[in-house]
Structures are given as C-alpha cells and as structure tokens.
A and B are shown apart, each in its own frame.
Chain A
Amino acid sequence: MEHIRLPKVENVKLLDRISHRRRRVGTLYLTATHTIFVESEAGVRNETWVLHSLVCSVDKLAATPSGCPLLIHCKNFQVLHFIISKEQECHDIHLSLQRLSQPGDYDELYCFAYKPNVDEKERRQEWDFLDLKADYSRMGLPNSLWKLSPVNQHYKVSDTYPADLFVPESATPPVIVGSSKFRSRGRFPALSYYCKDNHAAICRSSQPLSGFSARCLEDEQMLEAILRSNPRSDFMYVVDTRPKLNAIANRAAGKGYENEDNYSNIKFQFVGIENIHVMRNSQQKMLEVCELRSPSMSDFLEGLESSGWMKHIKAVLDAGIFIAKAVAEEGTSVLVHCSDGWDRTSQVCSVACVLLDPYYRTLRGFMVLIEKDWVSFGHRFSHRCKHLVGDPKEVSPIIDQLLECVWQLMEQFPCAFEFNERFLIAIHNHVYSCQFGNFIGNNQRERIELRVHERTHSLWSYLWANRTDYTNPLYRPNHSQTQGLLRASTSPYSFKFWKGLYNRFDHGMHPRQSVEDYLRAIQEETQQLEEQLTSHTQVGQGYADQPQKEDLSDHIFSFTLTYVVFT
C-alpha cells in the first residue's frame, strides 16, 4: 500500500478509444491490486477493473484545457485513456501506477495475494489436475525405445530444464552429460513428442557449441541414439528454427549449428523464424496500427504489412507443418532447436503437436501441451511477459504467437478443436495477469524455489471448472476433421488478422451476433429437451404399465407405439 500516493480521484473522464467525444465520467480508485474506474452517472454502476500486473505502460500526456491525459496500455491489449482534471493528481496516479505495475520482487505478484474462497485441500488438488507423466504414458512411454531419465534430478545437468525428461533408451548418462556440455545452457536433446504409431519422435534442445569446427562425440552419439529409437527410419531431421544468417553469426561466438558431415544420417534444415527482438518490435508496430483511431484501409493494410507480424506467424506455422509432416508422413524423427531452445523451439514443437495429435486439440490436451513444451521446458515466462521490472530486451510475445497460430488453425478447421477463441484469449490474459502461479518464474527450478504449488492457484483447474464457456459447439470428437494430421494451408491469403485478441476491447469492431453463443444456447436447450423427453416417456411408460391394459383406448395404444419409436 505504500506505493499508493493517491487512493481516489473524482471527476475523472474515461474516453472511448475510437470516438473521444464519447466519454464516461467517474471516480478512479487505486487499490493494492487494481485500478478501478466507477462511472458516476445516475442509475449506472459501470465499473472497469484493471489488474496492476496487466499494465504494460502508463504515460502522462501533455495537459490540455480539459485536464491531464493519462494513457494506460495493458498486456491484454486494453487501452485506457483517462483525463484527470488536476495535474498534480494525474502526476500522483502516474507515479503510483508506474510503481504498482512493475513489481521488483516475485513476492509482490498478484498470485501470492490472490485468495479465492477455496480451502487448502482443494487448492492443492488444483495442482494435481494436470500430470505430464500421464501425457507421456498416453504417448506410450516409457517403452523399449524411450526411458525416463533421472539425470536432471535437482537440475544438475540443466537448471532451465525440468527434472523429469525422456531420452532414448540407448542414451547413457555419460552421453547425456557430455552432450549437455556441448549445448547452450546444458539443454541437451530430450523428447518432446513421440508418435506411437510409427515411432517417429520430436526432440528439442538448444544450439550446439560447435563454433567453426568444434565437435562433441557424446552429442553425435546422442543424436544417433535418437535416430536408433526410431527403428524404421534411417535418417533424422535437425531443424534449426533460426534464419541461417543468425545461426552463422552465432558460430563466431562459439555456438552455431550441426555440421552434417559430423553427424551420421542427419538432414539439416533452417526454417528462418526471427529472434525475440524482431518479434517484440513487430508486435509493437502491429499494435500501433490496431490503435489508430480511424485508419483507412490502406493505413491498416500497409501498417500490418510493414509490421511483419503476419509474416512471422506464417513462419512459425510453416515450421510446425514441416515437422508435423516429417513425423506423420515420412515417419522421420526431428530434433528442433534455436539458440537457447526455449522460444522458437517451444513454439514450433507445440504447433507441430497441435497439427499431429487430436489430443492436443482438446481443452485438456492443449493445457497439457502448454504445460509440457512451455512451462516445463523452461520458456522464460517472467522475462518474456515482464512480470517483474527488468530488462526490456528480454520481453517478447512468443506465447502470443503460439496462441495466434492455433487461432489461425481454428479458423481453417472450425470443427477440429474442442476449445474456442475465448479459451485462447483467457490463457493469454492469465499468462500476463500473474493471478495464477502457473507462469511465474522462468523455469521449473525457479517455481519450486518460489513454492508456487504451495502458495498459489492453478489456472488449468480454473479453466476446466469453467469449460462450458470455452467449448466449441462445432467440435465432435468423431468428426473426420478432428482426426489425424491437420493439413493446414499457409498461403498468405489463408491468414487473418486476429482482431479478437489485438482489438479485444474494441467491442464495436466485433460481430454483433455470435454464431457460437447462439449454437451453445441451442445445444443447452437440446440437452434439456433430451432430459424432458426421457422423463415424459417414463411417465408415458407409467401409464402404459397400468394393469387395466385391456381397457386402453386406441389412443393410448398409439402412444405406447410412439414411445417404442423413441427408444
């Protein structure tokens, strides 16, 4: 509370983003966790709540005759434009919010203060909702080809990797440790996905420390072990998700990529996804376009093009498709890496999984996927999402791009996903909100140190409890579209602009009637009708069972017939 210089300001105007002439007048409150604007017009109790942890930037603009503008940009793309009449008040709010929205310490994060009305036992159960080992056993692991390795217990080999990892059966601890010493941050090749139908696997790692000529026997053995764990295949792909130039530049720093001559039976491939800095700048430019107040079509399309955002989304999806096809169609295993193996690698592995396996297109499956390829494999959520004050160069919308790739796929395959757009947006919101403990810290080791499982709530069980809101009414598990590999198009015209996320709070831009809500209402009604039908037919059965059957009129006779037809 010590950061709140001014808890309440009256007579504040909240401007409509599109039409500044439309404005609401009310009172602004600062609490320890939220900024709250309460509209003061008679008869309305309209409140806008914004979590401090969702605030991305607070800007005080030059004062105007009507007051001092304060612009708040949120990580969920909400933009609030307040006018505060007194400059001093605006100044105080500005300073308070700047401090409140940039905690210096994990303990200040909202998840540690968020206490919904749930008892401790239930809270602990929330964390048992998802079990990654169950997902690996769903894949058929461990088996004769892949084993669970204890090598990274206590994070001894790689402190950014999870403790439990699957590796090829033939990979011995010395090979793994040797390989890890030849990989950035010790992130040795480990299993991400195994296709039990044809034994092809997706493995992931960081870049090799190959420089211009360095070799590592254990690393070469490690790749060979991966290849051997796919008995029907005589080669494997190594996919470097970076642009070739970036990878070459890394060689000068003693890092780099695999030399095909040193590894037996690998096919090496660059897929050209740009780095976190390019992605950050690209999204920034794209958001500037979204924020234009009344852009012409050309402003919008030119801005979108020059932001490069759609091009990057396409690159990620293209890479995912390459890997999914290698696994599903060629039965070939793939090792994926970028530099550290926690950004592009996470994106590409999870996009490939969504394309390959219908399970990851279900509500629970998608949560498992994020838990597996992002949370457990050490995507640096707290750095990328700027949960704490820190280096702005570490911030990047890598997870946004995954969610968008999935959304693009949902647009192409409307029946293939159990969840809906709202589900993706909810995940996006909470990756940034810090309301739940799931994404706090940068890796498993940090979350254990923070005792996240003991002190916070889990997003996954919250989403699951509200799953009716997140279910796609068009999904049918047995629909042909739901089965097998999704053959997505990446022709440029197949990509759409995701206004549902980036213009999420511009309600006027969205369809005024939702087909999905309409269908959901119909399905609920259908369910009630089914229940009524059952109960009515039971009542009818009751009549039919009465002993005076010989007295039944023709009418009743015909009724029992109807019942027979129903059942």
Chain B
Amino acid sequence: MIMEFAELIKTPRVDGVVLHRPFMPTVEGTLCLTGHHLILSSRQDNTEELWLLHSNIDSIEKRFVGSLGHITVKCKDLRMIQLEITGMEECLNIASSIEALSTLDSVSLMYPFFYRPMFEVIEDGWNSFLPQNAFKDLESMTDEWRLSEVNKDFSLCPSYPPLVAVPKDVDDETLKKVATFRHGGRFPVLSYYHKKNGMVMMRAGQPLTGTNGRRCKEDEKLINATLRPGKRGYIIDTRAINVAQQAKARGGGFELEANYPQWRRIHKAIERYNVLQESLIKLVEACNDQSHSMDRWLSKLEASNWQTNVKEILTTACLAAQCIDREGASVLVHGTEGTDSTLQVTSLAQIILDPGCRTIKGFQSLVEREWLQAGHPFQQRCAQSAFSNSKPRYEAPVFLLFLDCVWQILRQFPCSFEFNESFLVLLFEHAYASQFGTFLGNSAAERARLCLPEKTVSLWSWVNRPQELERLTNPLYEPNSLVIWPSVAPQSLLLWEGVFLRWNRSSKCLDEAYEEMVHIIEYNKELQTKVNSLRRQLAQLETEDPLLHTP
C-alpha cells in the first residue's frame, strides 16, 4: 500500500461491526479500510457486502452510547448508512481514517489511477468522442466552419479543448483578439449546428466590456460571421439583467445593442453555482425530514428552490431551441464564465432539437462535447454533495440539474430516448465518485496534464459493453426525428424520485412495473420472430409442395 494511505489508516480491520442500510437487512461482519474503499464482509456466502469508495463519502457523524460507537456515513449519491463499532478507540480511528481518506486533496491519489478493469475493453472510451470526428459530421452538413488549433497548447483559453469549431472566415489572429475580450478567454465557438435550417448555437464567456463599455470589433465580426444576410440573431444571457449590470463593475458585462445591432439580447435568470449548492442541500434535507406533515414537506420543497431551478434552466433551453428552430435565428449563449449555466442551456437545447443526442452514444457524445471538453469544472463542482459540513467553495450541482432536466424531458417523451433513467442516475453517481477517470479534472488541459487516457479507464469503455448497454436501454425507444418541446408548467415538472427519494422509499413496486413493461415488449418481439420464421417456412413449403404431389 502507498505510504500516504498507510499513515492514514490506524486501524485497518475491526470485527463485529454492524451495518444498517436502507432496504437491506442488517449485516454483521468485519470492517476493513483500504486506501480507497470501506469494505464490510460478513464472510458468509450469499450475503451482500459493502464496497464503498471513500471518494463517495460526503460526511460522517459519530456518536457514542457507552463504548458502542455509531458512525453515520453520508454519501454523495445521497445514501446514508450506519455502522456500529464496539470499542471507542477503534471507532474513533475508523472515523478519522474515513474522514481523511474521503477528503484527499491530491488528484493523483484518486482511485481511478489505481483501478484496473476486470472487464474486457471492447472500445476505448477515451477515443470514442474525438473532436475531429464530431467535426467530420459537421463538414458533411456545411462548409462554413473550420476546426481551429489556435488553442492547441491551452494558452489562449485554459478551459477550452485544443480544437474548437469557429466560422471559416475568422482567422486565428482574430480569435486571439477575441479571447482577450471574453471571460476566461472563452471566445465564441460552435456548440450546435441545426441541420434542418443551417442555424447555429454558439457559446462563450461574458464580454469584458467593463464600466466604460469597451468594445472589440473582432468579437463583433466573429459572431456576425454566423448570421445569414439580413438575418438577426439572439444572444441569450443566462443572468438577470441586474446581475449582468453588476458584472460590469468587475470588468465583465454584456453586448451593447449599439455594437451588436444585428443581435437581440434576452436575459434569463439561472442561478449561480453557490446558490444551486444551497438549493441541493435544502432539497435533500426536505427529503430526509422525518416529520409526516404535508405542509412542512411542501414548504420545504418550495423553499429549496430546486424545482424552480429546473424550470428556469429548461425554460431557457426551450427558448434557445425556439430561436433556432422556430425563429430560424442563430443563437449565442453565455452567462459569466460560460462553464455552468451556459452549458446547461446549450446541451439541453440540443436534446430538444437533435434526435441524435437522445441515443446512448449521442448522449455520451453530448456530455463529452458540451461538458467535459467545454470545460465544466467537474472536480470543483462535484467535490462535495448535499451532506458536506464544510462551507462550499466551488461545489454546485450544475451537472445534476442538467441530468434532472433531461429526466424531465424523458418523462414527457418516454419513447423518444434510447436510454432510460438508470443511465442518468449512473452519470450522476460517476460525476461525484468513480473508479473511472472520465470526470476527473476541471478541463481538457488538466486532463491532458494528468495523462488520464493513459493512466485511467474511461467510463464510456465500461458503459459501451453489451451487458451494460442492455441495462441502460429504454425498451420503449422508437427513434423520433422531431424536435421535442417539453412542458415547463409547474404541474409538469416532477421531483426526480430516482435520485432524491432513492434511499427514502423502496422502489420495488416501480422496478417490478419496469420489468413487467420489458416483459411485455420482449414477449412481443419473441412472437414476431417466431411468426416471421414460420411465414418464411410456410412460403417455402408452398413452393415445394407441388413437387410433393408429382408422381
């Protein structure tokens, strides 16, 4: 074992530990701590054992009744488990080790660097979604865009990937100038091309206009290059107008009409990351409230603002999609940094507009393009979940909210997605704690520096195997080439039970219903196959039949 871990584990093994988990029988067994896992083994066959990644632990609480210690382990996937450990010293040692091991600072000590796959990698996920391949698809539809290598050493924009798609007529020199005018160097790049009418969606960081209304001709030229002659575009600023105004004082700002006469700016109010983290904490608290009062539940649910955030994000995504598909206009989306609410909007708009994003592979590609490559700081945002005692710094459920919104659309269009809810839950879990390297780091640059493709396994390598795909496939799926417009009425937006009530109520009956549904569909397919083969055989018999009668 690596020295760092050995020092942290004072008591590696305790016997006679009792484990309580939601919906499972209590188990007594031996608790073992390894560098990355908390393991409980009853040493009996056919008994469920606990293998919990330390990185999945959000916080722990300990209390003593005499010398019997109770440790409550609260996980990032919102599960809570209890351990009963006899012996105060053992209990304290275990608790302090868990605390230390679950809050390791160094990325290189994370489990993905130690994990060796126990499965055969059919397709290396690290090569599944290369930008150059995505660009080939684009090239087949339009020649108005080019792939620029201006950021190949991450110097222009540290949060962008080395390759980005930009208007063909805009050269790298221009891009360099634009980068200085946009927050974090995030100059406008292509996010989505709408094949139906050739309109595009771009995303960027806020323009650095400051209080004295600085302008950048190159920036104007860049985004104007995406407009058809005589056409106007829309700028969707994900901040409320007053928030955008205030940003000027800190050097940020928004596009002034005078400088961007061909663009109409619309402000929407999507919350910033620290507010979202508060919202998650309150929601989870409401879900775990033991009181049986309906009033209390509804008022806590309301006060958490979680559903409000879902509604706001979905509404903005619908707006962006509407501008593109209905108004036939191109769209530029940004907030402040362009790494959070911006990505929620651009990725959800694509789910709405592009049937390709509703397939399993297409959705992986979307997560790869619009979140990982686009520089959503996963490691910062997902460092802590709803139970953390430490004051949040950069943590925020931005990605979880995105998944929640996708789930809402999935609920409304249950036959239009190739994947099922389990896939979304899986992505939530792995974004917060994983044996795979996919969600490590905060940007493409960091991932390159960490040599993740060489040193870790990609989540996609694991997902894209037949047995996993089968579990994640929606049996109701029928490709739907249409744009799908979700309802954003409060009545239509539900609490995502699969995540937030997952550990509070048994899902047995709902799981059974799902199995029943699968059974109905499978049986139908089975019969279809039989009937078809019988038909073929009968047809053959009929052609052969006259021969039988020949004397």
Contact = CB atoms under 8 A, between A and B. Distances in A.
Contacts of A148: none
B537 A562 contact: yes
A144 interface: no
A562 B531 CA distance: 12
Contact of B544 (A499, A513, A553): A553
A514 B311 CA distance: 22
A492 B292 contact: yes
B406 to A, nearest CB: 15
**DSSP majority for the B interface?**
helix
Contact of B476 (A414, A479, A518, A536): A518
6 contacts: A311-B295, A413-B509, A489-B505, A518-B415, A536-B535, A566-B530
Contact of B302 (A298, A481, A546): A298
A314 interface: yes
Interface stretch (A67-75, A114-122, A300-308): A300-308
Given A476-B516, A522-B521, A553-B544, A532 B302 contact: no
Interface string B266-306: 00000000000000000000010000111111110110010
A492 B292 CA distance: 6
Interface stretch (B18-26, B107-115, B457-465, B487-495): B487-495
Interface in A494-520: 494-497, 499, 503, 506, 508-515, 518-519
A491 B505 contact: yes
B141 interface: no
Contact of B414 (A509, A513, A526, A530): A513
Interface residues of A, number: 73
Given A297-B308, A298-B308, A493-B297, A415 B512 contact: yes
Contacts, number: 174
Interface in B404-445: 411-416
B88 interface: no
B489 A551 contact: no
B292 to A, nearest CB: 7
Given A536-B531, A562-B537, A496 B294 contact: no
A515 B509 contact: no
Interface residues of B, number: 60
A556 interface: yes
A208 interface: no
A523 B520 contact: yes
A107 B476 CA distance: 50
Which 10 pairs of residues, A with B, have the shortest CB-CB distance? A492-B297, A300-B490, A414-B513, A301-B302, A305-B298, A311-B294, A529-B527, A297-B308, A499-B491, A536-B534
A473 B537 contact: no
A540 B537 contact: yes
* Most B Cβ at <10 Å: residue of A479, A494, A522: A522
A512 B484 CA distance: 9
A481 B509 contact: yes
A80 interface: no
B119 interface: no
A217 interface: no
Given A522-B521, A555-B544, A297 B490 contact: yes
**DSSP majority for the A interface?**
helix
Nearest to B530: A533
Interface in A406-435: 412-416
Given A311-B295, A490-B292, A548 B516 contact: no
A4 interface: no
B294 A310 contact: yes
B490 A540 contact: no
A492 B296 contact: yes
B541 A415 contact: no
A374 to B, nearest CB: 25
A540 B534 contact: yes
A480 B527 CA distance: 25
A553 B545 CA distance: 11
B510 interface: yes
Contacts of B548: 546, 548, 551-552
Nearest to A473: B520
A555 B540 contact: yes
B537 A513 contact: no
Given A290-B491, A518-B476, A533 B504 contact: no
Contacts of B490: 295-297, 299-301
Interface string B534-551: 110110110011001100
Contact of A559 (B413, B489, B537): B537
B524 A302 contact: no
B307 interface: yes
Contact of A297 (B493, B535, B549): B493
Given A509-B492, A513-B416, A533-B531, A495 B510 contact: no
B528 interface: yes
B312 to A, nearest CB: 8
Contact of B287 (A480, A493, A523, A539): A493
Nearest to B515: A415
A276 interface: no
A155 interface: no
A94 B101 CA distance: 74
A446 interface: no
Contacts of A522: 520-521, 524
Nearest to B311: A297
B517 interface: yes
A270 interface: no
B411 to A, nearest CB: 6
A398 B179 CA distance: 65
A388 interface: no
Contacts of B538: 536, 539-540
B497 to A, nearest CB: 8
Contacts of B484: 512
A234 to B, nearest CB: 30
B462 to A, nearest CB: 29
Interface string B357-400: 00000000000000000000000000000000000000000000
A163 to B, nearest CB: 40
A537 interface: yes
B501 interface: yes
B23 to A, nearest CB: 13
B527 A296 contact: no
Interface string B452-494: 0000000000000000000000001000000010010111111
Contact of A533 (B299, B534, B537): B534
A499 B540 CA distance: 54
B509 A499 contact: no
B19 to A, nearest CB: 24
Interface in A11-32: 18
Given A512-B412, A526-B523, A533-B530, 19 more contacts: A298-B305, A300-B490, A302-B302, A305-B298, A305-B299, A412-B509, A414-B513, A415-B509, A473-B520, A491-B504, A492-B297, A493-B297, A493-B501, A513-B413, A519-B520, A522-B524, A526-B524, A536-B531, A540-B538
